[in-house]
Amino acid sequence: MPRTLVIVGTPVPGSFTHALADAYTSGLRAAGESDIVVRDLATTDLPHDPPARTALRAPDGATDHLEPVVAALVDELLAAEHVVVLFPQWWGGQPAVLKAWLDRVVLSGVAFRSMGAGLPEKLLRGRTARVVMTMDSPRWWNQLVYRDSAVVQLTRATFWYTGVKVVGVDRLTVVKTSTPERRAAWLARLEARGRRDARLSPAAAGRR
């Protein structure tokens, strides 16, 4: 089973987000981690729209009613111990392809159960996550105007709600005016993050 699941949350193939994901996974492998699955949403045939409301739930963990590709993505998430989500900020939020992955894969019954009064039973406890977001807006604009909404949705409304512990968030800005040297520094940072996150694995800890 994969220990680390890397979600490349952009519909644009060959993007800088892909380069960041490559740098991160290179860091993991350099630290001795080999159980890695990269889920590139630019090349994944993920049906965005559920065929019925029941497709947004997995009662008692059952997924046999879901489209096969969606059921496989749910299994992929459940098999991971560490989840890394990389995406570009678009219009103060996430690209539709990443939102579709969240809507179709992080389901009631496998990721959480409602306990009433809005409280969740967190079914993904024991897992960790890292969030990496690129932006063309300045950091102050993201905080003041957008209120960091794209990151908050992932770290609080998704990961906290389902029991996943976020170990770090990287907000890389401004990408559109960045120099080759600046981008190289970001790639080096992500490679270092991968090396460090490899130590989160119980298996990796046993090797050291």
How far apart CA 176 and CA 114 sit, in angstroms, is 42
How far apart CA 83 and CA 54 sit, in angstroms, is 25
| pTM of the full structure | 0.93
pLDDT for position 119? 84
Would you place residue 1 in the very low, low, confident or very high pLDDT band (cuts 50, 70, 90)?
Answer: very low
Does residue 154 surpass a pLDDT of 50? yes
How far apart CA 12 and CA 123 sit, in angstroms, is 32
Does residue 205 surpass a pLDDT of 80? no
Neighbouring CB atoms inside 10 A of 66's CB total: 23
Sequence-separated contacts (24+) of 178-183 with Cβ below 8 Å: 183/16, 183/19
Contact 81, 201 (CB under 8 A): yes
